[in-house]
Structure 1
């Protein structure tokens, strides 16, 4: 594993966003179910959830690993989300008008009130800033993320925000991590990355030579990873 020398404190922390800093509340399948039920037959979150996951995984696998998914669609991110929604509707056999539903959902998930900042996120980010540690968000997200982070009050605590849709590359491609490091003015050996995906965050950061910590909030993974159950624990692990 590349990265920090034992006893060395990082000069920079890179952090994932979804599942690490914030989560959608209600969950996306719950929002989809509520929205679709207003446009046609009632559908439950339990019905939507497996279809949502299946289509997400399917469409993720259809683009080359490490390249931004939205750049591959004529029409960009909105066209990608439109294709995603149409597949969900088809598999649910739901007659909702996809264009109207897309307009509503696209606006819904851009609103800060649809997201919850994990309770330890603000204290940890503030502590990092107070101690002179540079902080950068590195996320596989569409171009709405910077404005969302601003609306959630997180933007002032982040020195850089590196978003896949704006960069043309996605995690686990090490290039997106390297760009964040360059903008922060630190080397890989001076940084750590915290995120909740074993592939995108942990292996991606490792490939760039960054010391990774897996944020495993639900105890799903194995001890082969350097793990923390939340950001506060990650802070103590690295800086304590």
Structure 2
């Protein structure tokens, strides 16, 4: 088996938020004159995000929404849950946060990610992105100087389906014109990244920066687990070395 394609998840695989969401929401609210508690905003955000994802999965595409409105609603509900009553100011905060999360201002490259991408490029592998991100992702990657590594970026918004739906992996393989057994996917979520990629016939690698409390519950072979992007490279080199020519 020869390996030709590596697809990457993004959030908490190659990029992560610079500071907790609650802190970022707090800072922008303070700048616009709202006094809020960052801890409360963090909790409220998680609740608002969970509810919005359940009611309007994949940015509400099936209900006629787009990702921008979806996120503005999440921010509005976050502040309401934390006790904010000035909807006009909150909407202004939401607009600014949406813009801020479209740039490198709120995102940081995971340590070792750039080196791993350079190594994959040096191995002659195609690289692409499969992410449950919204339409801002390509701009975010460009802002973080990662865009040039990928042949294309497939988001759940553009694909119309989100991981772990196998449809997004099949779209990716079709775009790359690569059969599943010649592709591998790398990500930090067991179901969305590892399990789904395996079900699509691809190799899967699960990034776990910290050891999970119950590692055996996932039934992931040790050779499929990495603790940083750079740890992927020796595994890929071994695959390529042992592949028939």
The TM-score with structure 1 as length reference comes to: 0.88
- 1:11 pairs with 2:9: no
Residue 243 of structure 2 corresponds to none
Q: Is residue 122 from structure 1 mapped to residue 119 from structure 2 by the alignment?
A: no
In the TM superposition, what are the counterparts of 1:42-57 in structure 2 within 5 Å?
Answer: 42-57=35-50
The residue that corresponds to 1:190 in the other structure is: 182
Partner of 1:155: 147
Match of 1:5 in 2: none
Secondary structure of 2:16's counterpart equals strand
Could you tell me how far apart the structure 1 residues matched to 2:63 and 2:157 are?
12
Contact 2:76/2:91 (8 A) holds in 1? no
Q: How much has 1:73 moved relative to structure 2? A: 4.6
Greater share of residues in helix:
2
1:210 is matched with 202
**Are the counterparts in 2 of residues 216 and 228 from structure 1 also a CA contact under 8 Å?**
yes
Within 1, Cα distance between the matches of 2:33 and 2:63?
28
Counting only pairs closer than 5 Å after superposition, residues 66-81 of structure 1 correspond to structure 2 as 68-81=58-71
Question: Residue 215 of structure 2 aligns to a residue in which SS?
Answer: coil
Q: Say whether residues 1:33 and 2:26 are aligned partners.
A: yes
Q: Which moved more, 1:219-228 or 1:75-84?
A: 219-228
Match of 1:227 in 2: 225
State how far apart, in whole Å, the 1-side matches of 2:123 and 2:236 are: 13
2:116–2:232 contact (8 Å) kept in structure 1: no
- State the 1:69 CA deviation: 2.4
Distance, in Å, in 2 between the alignment partners of 1:238 and 1:132 is: 11
Change (3 A) 1:24 1:73: farther
Distance change in 2, residues 1:48/1:218 (3 Å): farther
Aligned CA RMSD, in angstroms, stands at 1.8
1:161-187: per-residue Cα shift (whole Å, max 9, x none)?
Answer: 111111211111111111111111211
1:199 alignment partner, one of 169, 174, 191: 191
- 1:90 maps to which of 63, 80, 91: 80
Q: Deviations over 1:149-169 (max 9, x none)?
A: 112111111112111111211
Gaps of 5+ in 1: 1-7
With 73-82 and 11-20 compared, the bigger mean Cα shift is at 73-82
Question: 2 CA distance for matches of 1:154 and 1:35?
Answer: 26
**Residues in 1 aligned to 2:6 and 2:28: alpha-carbon distance in whole angstroms:** 37
Per-residue CA deviations over 1:123-162 (Å, capped at 9, x if unaligned) read 1111111211111111111111111111211111111211
> How many matched pairs?
230
